[in-house]
Amino acid sequence: MAIAVVDYGMGNLHSVSKAVERLGYEPLITGVREEILSADGIILPGVGAFGDAMEHLRESGLDQVMREAAARTAPLLGICLGMQLLFSQSEEHGVHEGLNILPGKVVRFTGGDYKVPHMGWNSLSFLQPDVPLFAGLEEGHVYFVHSYHVLPEVKSDLLAVTDYGQPVTAIVGRGHVYGMQFHPEKSGELGMSLLRGFLALTDGAS
């Protein structure tokens, strides 16, 4: 099964691709529309600032490709910044429009007795444990690095949270579109199990 890891100049492509390969799938690092849309599954990674990432996606035409991908049936996963890009808008260094695949906005951590960025291991709480992604899994710890977090508009899109002075969006999903705020490829057994769960969805994609 070919898994497209979208290359737009701002993703942690190597570690994500290696994790996909370790799980028995074929990663394809690509920024080519046809290769992305014909893949069995698509991963949108991301490291850096929201506005810069959207500029890279627009300049390459990959913003429209990602919207096309979301409208098809192949499972799509956004990781870290890649998850945030799925949403409507971010206030990181100004207001920036996102891919608007899922409704919601990205805001900075404010107030509270905690450090920003949110960095390190933190526990997950599954809000919808019956979703296929969580099949056979128990809640545990995963690895986060972020200064901004997502506020989904639709309650049912929120699949899991972590606690960092407040409930913080950790996993989102609607249909075949998913997002993980943490880095599953750096999150030990649970992270790899969640990534395996996503990749397993590609087996039945048409």
Question: pLDDT of 32-79, one tens digit each?
Answer: 999 999 999 999 999 999 999 999 999 999 999 999 999 999 999 999
Of 14, 17, 58, the closest CA to residue 41 belongs to: 17
34 among known catalytic residues: no
Burial of 32 (0-12, 13-18, 19+ CB in 10 A): middle
Peptide bond into 117 cis (omega under 30): yes
Give the span between the Cα atoms of 22 and 35, in whole angstroms. Answer: 21
Please report how many Cα atoms fall inside a 13 Å half-sphere around the Cα of residue 39, on the Cβ side.
31
Q: Which of 80, 96, 149, 176 is catalytic?
A: 80
State residue 136's pLDDT score.
93
CA distance 82 to 91: 15
By the 8 A CB rule, do 77 and 45 touch?
no
* pLDDT value of position 206: 43
Spell out, as residue ranges, where the chain has pLDDT lower than 50: 206
Active site residue 183: yes
The pLDDT score that the predictor gives to residue 204 is 60
Q: State yes or no: is 185 an active-site residue.
A: yes
Q: What is the pTM of this model?
A: 0.96
Candidate list 56, 59, 183, 189, residue with the active-site label? 183
Q: Which of the following is catalytic: 93, 146, 185, 189?
A: 185
Q: Which of 126, 111, 170 lies closest to 144, judged by CA? A: 170
